[in-house]
Structure 1
Amino acid sequence: MRISVIGTGYVGVVHAACLADLGHEVIGVDIDAARIAALTQARAPMYEPGLDALLARTVREGRLRFSTSLADAAAFARTHFLCVGTPQQRTGQAADLRYVDAVVEGIAPQLRPGSLIVGKSTVPVGTTARLARVLAARAPHSEIAWNPEFLREGYAVHDSTHPERLVVGVTSPWAETRLREVYRPLLEAGVPFYSMSPATAELVKVAANSFLATKISFINAMAEICEVTGADVVTLADAVGEDARIGHRFLEPGLGFGGSCFPKDIRAFAARAEELGVGEAVTFLHEVDAINTRQRRHTVDIARELAGGTFGGRNVAVLGAAFKPGSDDVRDSPALDVAAAIQAEGAEVRVHDPEAIDNARPAHPELQYTLDVSKACEDADVLLHLTAWPEYRRISPAGLAAAVRSPRMLDARHGLDLARWRAAGWTVRALGRPADGTLNAAPVAAREA
């Protein structure tokens, strides 16, 4: 089948490459000419494990190509996946749908009869119905459906080729049949396929993200209580997660969530509920967001305590800039948020990250950056572990102690072996854990490995 993928960001470029890998002929379209030029040379615009090899293979074999023209997409295919961004509005909490609207309005007059637009972007409930009215007026022989993505940055290729489920929101058997054909190899491999109304499909994505964000904020709320009671949130999370009704996934205490999805999605969901007159049903999402933001401020407070009560004249080393390991994405990064707040209080902050420095530097040019962990920690008064890259678990605390001015470390991601660091002479703190180290459960990252 010939397919176009419009928008070549995190979702679009992975989706295009994976569709080509399934055997389809795919054209990826974006208005960013420099990005398209790089993709034509099989150079991915972001770090995503496995993507470079997948791009190289599908481009080389001729199943994937790229263009800056919607006209090329309309002429090439009758199935068009819409993968443009839906960021938070600058002046409010709601989703900014200008890019979605622009693509539909731009391609509609060029669609051939029998075309299907398939949205993958995360949108407020009711968006498909609104865009269907646009198509009815400008491309009456075409349809629109919604097929939300459930990709995790750092695992996006795997999640595309081995999805837990496929969700499609359609208004006709014809559209469902088309999408079953698109995903036929996955369906034959046994991937569950859920066909439903577009409104339900739109809600599946935001409901899933809201629930996962709630789990993260819940355990971080427990961390606050643990700190004032002397309890250990890591041990608490382990015990609670053994309940099969709850589970361990996303019940992981730490600095909280960031990135391009959870923060803006829960805000947009709450804003849309207000528009629909049912805002009270999701008021808890405001507290989920508040807990997440509060965790960043709390991390700064603990770091300040470790620094002796002030950041003025202190050197602070930060391990991590990306919002999560396995990605170079720094959008709404908790790590950079904390680093910038500390810098604003008078510290000199040096940041290390194995992949995200090129993206972090323009976002926060006031910070210093290095690809050398030892350089980041040189003469540091405090070391902060803010992104749980596996590389940081391999650091020798004894060796690193020689580089710092004072061996004091805050593990905000519960990914390090605190007993090992203490044995090497470090003063160690961790969010939601006893300051004296009386309880030492295994590091979160070690348990996941």
Structure 2
Amino acid sequence: MEHGDNNGHSHHAMMLEDFRKRFFVSVVLTLPVLFLSPIIRQGLESAGVSLPTIEGASYLLFAFSTLIFFYGGKPFLTGLLDELRSRQPGMMTLIAVAISVAYIYSSLVVFGLAGKFFFWELATLIDIMLLGHWIEMRSVMGASMALEELAKLMPSQAHRIGEDGETEDVALKDLQNGDRLLVKPGEKLPADGRVAKGQSSVNEAMLSGETTPVSKEKDDEVIGGSINGEGSLEIIIEKTGSDSFLSQVIELVKQAQESRSRAQDLANRAAMWLTVIALSAGAITLFAWVNLAGYDFAFSLERAVTVMVITCPHALGLAIPLVIAVSSALAANNGLLIKDRAAFEKAYEVDAVVFDKTGTLTEGKFGVTDIIPFENVSEEEILKLAASVEAESEHSIARGIVESAEEKYPIKDFNSIPGKGAYATVEDRQITVASGSYIAD
């Protein structure tokens, strides 16, 4: 019953680090490519910038661009193979075709083919696409961190009660349905189950969002990961492993990570058609310049390559990851777990939203709003007496009473009434602070 499986998180962390490293290395290598590119140098010189002549500039361009192509472009080249194997050409195919055409053609120009270089276009295209995928991986990592936080809700051990009544500490993976567990005050519940003995209030805020502790007594259901209050509980395990409530929540977050939004699907379909259009336009351009316009093959090939390279949309590769990253970050920062990205994209069609008030529209903190005195006791005295008793309690309502009082009396003989309240001796009087249901009983 282990929830702390970090394999997915480690995989995403490695991919994030890989894209980050490839991006920065490629950017550094792009600087000399830009400086050595003839079209960039011509633009600078026309602006009055004097640049030194560099011997063997074309070979240096080839060397730097080769490093960028094989190191920075590797994710896209391997992505091309994956998409072709799955027969679903998309963004990776479009990027890989563009950078491959630019690299192969420019390399042929270096070694004798008449034409111009596309090395700087190759380098900047790889840089921008690496940046886009790095940003996208950061958004995925945000969801992975949410999984880690959910997994941390579970304790590492549980107090299992044996047939002889003795308790032993065991790992969660050793628990089975039907085991009897002891949960002490303030501890996290190690499994889903049902109360067999005891009374207490349980804080389920991290799981349900409801900040008010829920009173639990015999036969009530409890959720693993929630926090026990002031009383001890004995519970019988009913759900372990993937059947537990927390495991199902974690599974929902994983499914959200793996789900693709409509925008991503649309971008992939657009990329597939752009790949077809780019290759077709390049072939038509080559045919037209050679057969219809009568130009030589080298001149016509340069035009065809130009068409194929400029067809690859830099914006498409960067815009979608940016949208996903920003929307995911905003959602995560505001405590919103997205179950399905496709549904999340339709949020603009929502006409009405229903909120759970406590802890969502309000802070979920308790305080004193009204005091109704009796027997000529002042409001200040009632609050002081109540706060004195509740100062020893861990209950969230008790904390609200204590924070509302300016002064407290010293007390003795404090006792908790699990799920109901508490009592103690204050100023030689027994003072009980309890719920309405306790007083009614």
Provide TM-score, normalisation by structure 1.
0.26
Give the number of the structure with larger relative contact order, counting CA–CA contacts within 8 Å between residues 6 or more apart: 2
Q: Which has the higher helix share?
A: 2
